[in-house]
Structure 1
């Protein structure tokens, strides 16, 4: 079994934004949602692809060392 970067999704107070994705990216996002649902023992289609966008962005920023370094530096000044 593979280890996906995203785990279970948590509910949080949302802030609505509109984003346009290339069709290929949306297809990959949809497939990711299907795989994630399967990995978590849920039925296919139980995870909306749009629900993955925020956790993916958060994960990306949490693992971007340059961003974290600059954010820390900005907080200290």
Structure 2
């Protein structure tokens, strides 16, 4: 059987994680959500932005990206 061009999708089942934030970080995240809304005209909850923020941070960390994948 031939394969399609798109490779197999990765695991997409969300994992729930609870974290405690210091008040100043929470305020900055709320400010970021406001800036996001001003930029794109779409209001997004802080909780929905956090995974994208973490992903962008990890992708931009050059030293981390050079480490062997586990």
Q: Do both proteins adopt the same fold according to a TM-score greater than 0.5, normalized to the shorter chain?
A: yes
1:63 counterpart = 2:45: no
**Cα-Cα RMSD:** 1.6
What is the DSSP-based 3-state SS (H/G/I as helix, E as strand, rest coil) of the residue aligned with 2:44?
Answer: coil
Task: Give the 3 Å change call, closer, same or farther, for CA 13–48 of structure 1 in structure 2.
Answer: farther
Bigger-Rg structure (1/2): 2
Structure 2 spans left out of the alignment, 5+ residues? 1-11
Q: TM-score, normalised by structure 1?
A: 0.67
| Structure with higher RCO (Cα < 8 A, 6+ apart) | 1
How many residues align structurally? 59
Structure 1 spans left out of the alignment, 5+ residues? 1-11
